[in-house]
Structure 1
Amino acid sequence: MEEIAALFDSRGQAIGRAPRSRVRAENLHHGATGIVVFNKDAQIFIHQRTWIKDVYPGRWDFTAGGVIQAGEIPDESAQRELAEELGIDSALHRLPDGEYSDEHTSYHAFRYWTVTTKQPILQESEVLQGQWTSVEELLARIREVPQEFMPDSIALFLPWLDGLRVVPPTS
C-alpha cells in the first residue's frame, strides 16, 4: 500500500494528505523531518543514500529523517525515521522549523538534533554506507564538493552547524 504523506503549509500546520507518488509528481508542499546525529566524541554521522531514492539518489546526507505520514505528528515521525534509517532511539532536541523548496521537493522542515552512544544500524533500502566525521571535516567536504550532498540539508542545517561553538550542542 502506498504511503500517504501529510501536506503542510509554510506555518507548519497540517492542511491535507496525498499519496507520496502525487506529492513527488506535483511537488506538493508537505512535511518532513531532519535529524542531525552526534556521538559523544563530537562527531556527526553522515550517510550515502541508496540509488533507488526518489529524490537525490546516491547523495551524501548529514541528517536522518523523511516525509511525515498523514496522521503523524512531527516528533513521532522524527523518532520513527531515526529508528528506521539508523536504528537509533535517543532523545530529540528541537530546532526552529524551516522551509525548503526546489524543482524536486517542497516541504516544511521540522528540524532536530540528537546525541547517541550507539553505532548506527543502516537500513539497507535507504542507506548505502555511513561514517562518523568531525563537523570541521564535514564542512570542508561540503565546501569542496557541495554537489555530492543533499541540497536541502545544506540549506536547512549548514548555517546552524557552522555556527556551533560546542559539539555536540549542550541545549
Structure 2
Amino acid sequence: MPSSPNEIFDIVDETDQVIGQAPRGRVHAEGLMHRAVHILVWNSRNEVFLQKRSMSKDQMPGVWTTSASGHVDSGEDYDTAAVRELGEELGIQIQGPEAMQLLFKHPACKHTGAEFIQVYHLVWDADMTLDPEEIDAGAWYQPDALDALIREDRRNYAPSFRLIWGIVRQQDAQAFFGESSDSLQ
C-alpha cells in the first residue's frame, strides 16, 4: 500500500508518550517526533536481508535499508506495526510478535528522522514476496561483507539503517568478546 501524505501518525514527546495526531506530510515537514519499526530478517546461514527502497518513495528513495520498516499508525503499538510491515513489504506472515525478538528501542534523533524506533530480529528461511511499490530490490548479505560495502559508500544506505546496523554490530561484538563498548574502541 503506497504511503499517503494524509496518513495519520501519533505525535509523541521526548518520553515517547502520545501528545496528539497529525497527517504524515505535516509530521515529516515539521520534524515532529513519531514512531517507527525496523525488522532485520536473518536466515540460518547468518545472512541479513536488506531492501532497496523504491524510487517512488517520498523519503530516502533508492537507498538500502533494513529488511522491513515502517511507521506505527495512530493508535497502533510497535509490535503490531512490526507484524504488519513484515506482511506488507515482504509477504512474511507470522502469528504475532512472539515470532520476533525485540533487539532494542532507540530514541528519536536526526538519524532516525525524528522517529522513536523499535528494532526487531526475525529468522526466516522461507520465500518472501517483495512489494514492488515499496521495494526495488532485495539481497542477502554476510555481516562482514555488508560492513565493507557501507564503508565503501555510506550514501547508498539510509541513515537510520547505518545507525541500527552500527548498534547491532556493536552488540554482536560485545556478545562475542564479552567486553563493554568502551573497550572495543
Taking structure 2 as the reference length, the TM-score comes to: 0.82
- Structure 2 residue 31 is the aligned partner of structure 1 residue 27: yes
Root-mean-square deviation (Å): 2.1
1:136: Cα distance to partner? 1.2
Contact 1:31 1:68 in 2 (8 A): yes
Partner of 2:137: 129
Residue 40 of structure 2, aligned match among 36, 40, 55: 36
Task: Kindly indicate whether structure 1 or structure 2 has the higher relative contact order, using CA contacts under 8 Å at least 6 residues apart.
Answer: 1
Q: How many residues align?
A: 167
Task: Report the Cα distance in structure 2 between the residues aligned to 1:72 and 1:112, rounded to whole angstroms.
Answer: 16
Match for residue 62 of structure 1?
A: 66
Distance in 2, matches of 1:55 and 1:10, equals: 23
1:41 shift after superposition: 1.3
Amino acid at match of 2:156: E
Corresponding residue for residue 11 of structure 1? 15
Structure 1 position 112 matched with structure 2 position 130: no
1:169 corresponding residue in structure 2: none
Deviates more, 1:22-31 or 1:86-95: 86-95
- TM superposition shift of 1:3: 1.3
Tell me which protein shows more helix as a share of its residues: 2
45-54 or 90-99: which moved more?
90-99
In structure 2, how many angstroms separate the alpha carbons of the residues matched to 1:98 and 1:44?
Answer: 20
- Structure 2: distance between partners of 1:159 and 1:11: 21
- Please identify, of 46-55 and 95-104, the stretch whose mean Cα deviation from structure 2 is larger: 95-104
Of 66-75 and 4-13, deviating more is 4-13
Q: CA deviation at 1:87?
A: 0.9
Cα separation, 2, equivalents of 1:115 and 1:142: 23
Structure 2 unaligned segments of length 5 or more: list them.
176-185
Q: 1:154 aligns with which of 158, 162, 170?
A: 162
Identical aligned pairs, as a percentage?
33
Runs of 4+ that moved beyond 4 A = none
Q: Deviations over 1:26-61 (max 9, x none)?
A: 111100001111011111001110111121111011
Matched, 1:164 2:172: yes
